[in-house]
Structure 1
Amino acid sequence: MSNKLFDGIIPKEPPVHAQSDAHTVKSRLEWGEPAFTILDVRSSGTSVLETHKAYNQCHIMGAMPMPIDELVDLAQSSLQKNRDIYVYAENDQQANQAAQMLRNTGFTNVSNLRGGLAAWKAIAGPVEGTHTMTPPGADDYNVVSRIKNHLETQQKEV
């Protein structure tokens, strides 16, 4: 049932194509569109520990880690088949392979995020992980210095 009051005001979700660029996904995030998932399937081929290490260092904000060798089992147990899914990996070939694996399992709206994490960072897409943290400064652990900094900031703003 369509609500005529909002027709034409609220944009419809774009169709998911076999390949998408980082701008498309970032646009969907910025509009706050629901019902899509970003999967980080990077797998260095060594171990699950190494795969999670790469994910923990840096990944697209909100992405779920699913190593490619566990992808089908993890996706089937946690995602709906009609959910919009964007996949990125070490390279586009690996992402295409992962997307095809999901399609072969019955997932209908799967897209390879072309360029992966590098393309995402190039357009200033939000990332999270240990590399994104600002290292602590010398004053961060000194309570007296932190109070002085706070008081100076308060005086400047007044």
Structure 2
Amino acid sequence: MSEQKAEAEVISNAKEKLGEVIPTPPEATPKASAQSLKERLQWGEPGLTIIDARDRESFLDERITGSMLATDVDNDNIPKNREIYIYSNTDQEAAEAADNLRQAGFESVSQLQGGLAGWKAILGATEGRSATAQ
């Protein structure tokens, strides 16, 4: 066996073992708990978008850190396969907003159960006027 083939085989074996060792983030589900979103964010480079489907005043007052206001989202600039977590004032409003995104062609939309209150209950980070006043 040539030296190049031997090196290629060593590299190939190492890659196979790394695939077994390196965990992958859990898959998104149609409904997600605040804790599951927090765990997903702890993966470092989550590759997801958090959308706030409440009104602008509520969004400006306090929101999940890094979230975007639904009315400001340009559906054409977000890849259809991007993981999206959406929340609102009630789970029903969030479900409707999630359904709208799915109908627009988004493949991985999770409705965040409990909304902002659920997020704050697990000490999730927030930002906005109220969050900075604390």
Q: What TM bracket, shorter-length normalisation?
A: 0.7 to 0.9
- Please, which of 53, 66, 72 is the counterpart of residue 70 of structure 2? 66
- Structure 1 residue ranges without an equivalent (≥5): 43-50, 136-158
Structure 1: distance between partners of 2:75 and 2:133: 37
Number of residues of Structure 1 aligned to a counterpart in Structure 2: 121
Aligned equivalents of 2:128 and 2:21: distance in 1? 36
TM-score normalised by structure 1 residue count: 0.70
Larger Rg: 1
Which deviations, in whole Å up to 9, do the C-alpha atoms of 1:17-73 show, x marking residues without a partner?
11000000001112214211100011xxxxxxxx22211110000101113xx7xxx
For residue 14 of structure 1, the aligned residue among 26, 42, 53 is 26
Alignment of 1:108-123 (within 5 A): 108-123=107-122
Deviation at 1:5?
Answer: 4.4
What code does the residue aligned with 2:20 have? G
Report % sequence identity.
Answer: 39
How many angstroms does 1:12 deviate by? Answer: 1.1
* Structure 2 segments unaligned to the other structure (5+ residues): 1-14
How far 1:111 moved relative to its partner?
Answer: 0.6
**Aligned residue in 2 for 1:34:** 46
Distance, in Å, in 1 between the alignment partners of 2:39 and 2:27 is: 13
Q: Confirm whether residue 55 of structure 1 aligns to residue 59 of structure 2.
A: yes
**Segments of 4+ moved more than 4 angstroms:** none
In structure 2, distance between residues paired with 1:106 and 1:133? 36
